[in-house]
Amino acid sequence: MEEPSAGLEVVPEARPSGTRPSTDSGMHRRRPSRGMYVLPSFFTSCNIAAGFYAITESVRGTTGDAGAFDHAALAIGFAIVFDSVDGRVARMTRTTSDFGKELDSLADVVTFGVAPALLAYLWGFRMLPATVMPMLRDKILPLGVVICFLFLICGACRLARFNISVNPHPLNPGRPGRKYFVGMPIPAGAGVIASVVHCFDGHWVDDPRIAVLFMVLIMGTGFLMVSNWRFWSGKEIEAGTRMPFQTVVLLCLLIAIIWKFSEYALISISLGYLVSGLLARIAYGWQRRRRLGSQAS
């Protein structure tokens, strides 16, 4: 704000008596809330705790304990639940804040970036036996470090783009009125790695050829996170809205299946979500070429 020039008297603007000063000025404008709300921040803290636990269990798994790797994968799975709950709780209770948004982003970098990248390296590459294809193993280990780091940086870029985007539109638009993510969200990317580890009950990769396939999966997941392709967000499903009875039954059935056959159910859900983005992009490209062909003819 500029100061008045010397020698000039500043006369306040006259206003009718009995009226209050306007609150629309920049000095009295209400700023966004920067405080911490306890309830959504509690779920975000649980998210961070699950990520830290996954990191410690991944390190413990290098001692030869396959169960530790499985615990790390399950911790990432529980963190996905916490991450989906904190935002919905904040919206339902109207306790959204800039502080909560920044805390959630930092938590996602740790839990869905650092933790799955470390788990992928230690489980998929570092534990390869030295006696099986030693020459291929020596090439896979440093390449695995690079690939896992690329997954981490792709996830961080995905979060940064999400934070600065205002009403983003995917490259291949879907049904009007339905909300989509632009690029695969980082919790889903972490879920792909965690579901693969959990499917093998934490037993590490002992064949370099399987490690190469796992490397391709990590690279593909990282690419989908920074792509502009559409992925279903599920934001139209709110806990406070009414749902048909059939939908409630299907949700209960899905939870029961995940509880009983978690190894196969979780990997089917995560890979199915990954493939859905690929199929949506392929279908949109095919429809676009067909439409352009019909217009040209």
Fold adopted by 38-232+244-296? Four Helix Bundle (Hemerythrin (Met), subunit A) (1.20.120)
pLDDT for 269 equals 95
0.85 exceeded by the pTM?
no
Residue with tokens 């009983």: 260
Length of the chain counted residue by residue? 297
Distance CA 26, CA 29 (A): 5
**Rounded average pLDDT over 93-122:** 90
Output the average pLDDT for the chain.
Answer: 83
Average of pLDDT values for 73-78? 96
Q: Is the model's pLDDT at 231 over the cut of 70?
A: yes
Rounded Cα distance between 103 and 99, Å, is 6
> DSSP alpha helices (H): ranges in the chain?
38-61, 66-92, 98-109, 115-121, 134-164, 186-199, 208-226, 245-260, 262-296
Whether 213 has a pLDDT exceeding 60, the answer reads: yes
Residue with tokens 């870029």: 157
pLDDT, mean of residues 72-97: 86
Which residues, listed in sequence order, are joined to residue 181 by a DSSP beta bridge?
Answer: 231
Residue 200 burial (CB count, 10 A): 17
> Quick one: DSSP state of residue 124?
I
Neighbours of 109 (CB within 10 A): 17
Specify the pLDDT at position 176.
Answer: 61
**Mean pLDDT across 79-87:** 88
The model's confidence at residue 170, banded by pLDDT at 50, 70 and 90, is: confident
Mean pLDDT across 57-79: 96
Closest among 109, 83, 119 to 218, alpha carbons compared: 119
Q: 36-46: per-residue pLDDT in tens?
A: 578 878 889 99
First to last CA, the chain: 63
What pLDDT sits at residue 22?
47
Tell me: pLDDT of 62 over 80.
yes
With contact defined as beta carbons under 8 Å apart, do 211 and 140 qualify? yes
Q: 174-189: per-residue pLDDT in tens?
A: 766 567 888 999 999 9
Structure confidence by residue, pLDDT tens digits, 257-287: 999 999 999 999 999 999 999 998 888 888 8
